[in-house]
Amino acid sequence: MVKLVILIEELDDWSAFNVAWPGFLHTAESMPGLLRETSSHVDSMLYGGIQVSRVHELFFDSLETARGAMASSEGRAAGALLQAMTGGKMVLFLADHSEDDLSNIRKYTAESGAPQVGLEQPAE
C-alpha cells in the first residue's frame, strides 16, 4: 500500500482554509483508485524544522495507482485547491505504507525469541 501524505504547515488564516476544506475533500475523494483517507489535527510539534498543523493521508494500492490518481483531472484539481488553500505552506510525499496491530507484534516477538523491549531483566 502507498499513501500520499500531506503536511499542512501553520497558516495565517485558518477560517478561509476551513471554508475551503470540504471542497478539497470532495475533489480528492473522487481521485481514481483512492482506497481510504485519514485526517489529523496536530496537537503539538515535538521536534522538527516546520510547524505542522494538519496531516492528511490518501491511501492507494500501489505507487503507480497513486501517481495516476495525482495525474488525473481530479488529482490536479485537488492539488490546485490545496495550493490555493495553503498558499504553498505544505509538504507532500509518497510513502510505502505497512502497518501491524500490537497483538500480532507481541505474538511475533514472543514466538521469535527476540527480546521484548521494556521487558528485559536488569543486569545483576
Residue whose C-alpha is closest to residue 39's, from 29, 49, 48, 47: 29
What Rg do the C-alpha atoms of the chain give, in angstroms? Answer: 19
CATH of 2-110, one of 3.50.50.60, 3.30.70.100, 3.40.1800.10, 3.30.70.370: 3.30.70.100
Report the largest interatomic distance among the alpha carbons of the chain, rounded to a whole angstrom.
65
Residue 56 above 60 pLDDT? yes
Quick check: 84 and 19 in contact, CB under 8 A? no
Taking the C-alpha atoms of residue 27 and residue 39, their distance in angstroms, rounded to an integer, is: 15
Q: What is the pTM of this model?
A: 0.81
Q: Note the pLDDT tens digit of each residue in 16-48.
A: 999 999 999 999 999 999 999 999 999 998 998
| Residue that has been written with the C-alpha cell 510513502 in this structure | 95
Is the pLDDT reported for residue 121 higher than 80? no
